[in-house]
Structure 1
């Protein structure tokens, strides 16, 4: 499957962010569990360990190969089942992520945003989040997340995100 990029730039307060949306024919509590419970995350992106009550968890990706070191994610806001804000800085960059959920008539919309810390990373992180969010959709619709092929996302979506980076890097 070759997907069309869905990520867009939004100004959020005083920061720039990339934003993606995915919809699910599922109750909000089910989608919340898919993005917060380690066992459910494992199906599409990775697992976490620790006690969220401590204000952080250790997250390990599982679809990037076996040599990916775990990252510490600080929990900045957690308001089940509507809002999760987490931050990490690791060897791969800065990850300031917000997940917002809303339900209407049995359809839950997940809006995920990442603060743009470094425009030079957009060409990779944009397609990366498209890939992982589509793996989430696959997991939640009973499809096989492993069937989502990274080669359909990169380099196919690279130009879309380079264009966003170029617009942001050019003073207005």
Structure 2
């Protein structure tokens, strides 16, 4: 697997940045990252009422059933979804920004505040899940992806620190 992301600096923090492109309308990609049944094809699902500003998100492909609280910080369909998710005792801000141009929708994923000791595991993990999203949206089978193919890419990210 070829790693795709970079580690950038923003406001004195490390920011993981990864992009994916889709030959699809922006509304389709937005639905793939916001609708529970579409999310379920590649990562997990959420329950609750997003109008309250939070939902419970379960990474079903990590074996989660109950899910953890996810705060919705920004939701501007179909362009921006910024959330903060609970991961154990930690909170992770995650940013999804979509742009459409010339028949291509580009999804830019960011995780600001990623700590150097997390990068080697977290960054390849997001490559894995974002590739599963591409599979789900292009008709490929996300289940054919193996995490073991992504783990060796950790040095691509840690070498950027």
Q: Which interval holds the TM-score relative to the shorter structure?
A: over 0.9
Per-residue CA distance 1:87-125 (angstroms, 9 max, x = gap) = 023317431100000001111000000013422111110
Query: Which residue does the alignment assign to 1:76?
Result: 73
Number of corresponding residues:
161
Cα RMSD after superposing both structures: 1.5
Give the Cα–Cα distance (whole angstroms) in 1 for the partners of residues 155 and 12 of structure 2. Answer: 26
SS state of the match for residue 62, structure 2? Answer: coil
1:82-121 mapped onto 2 (5 Å cutoff): 82-91=79-88, 93-121=90-118
SS state of the match for residue 95, structure 1? Answer: strand
Query: Which residue does the alignment assign to 2:16?
Result: 18
Query: Which residue does the alignment assign to 2:145?
Result: 148
Query: Which TM-score applies when normalising by structure 2?
Result: 0.94
Query: Which TM-score applies when normalising by structure 1?
Result: 0.88
Give the Cα–Cα distance (whole angstroms) in 2 for the partners of residues 91 and 139 of structure 1. Answer: 27
Which of 49, 72, 75 is equivalent to 2:47? 49
The 1:68/1:126 distance shift into structure 2, 3 A limit, reads farther
The 1:116/1:68 distance shift into structure 2, 3 A limit, reads farther
SS state of the match for residue 75, structure 1? Answer: strand
Per-residue CA distance 1:109-168 (angstroms, 9 max, x = gap) = 0000001342211111001000000000000000000001111101x111112223xx2x
Query: Which residue does the alignment assign to 2:134?
Result: 137
The 1:92/1:159 distance shift into structure 2, 3 A limit, reads farther
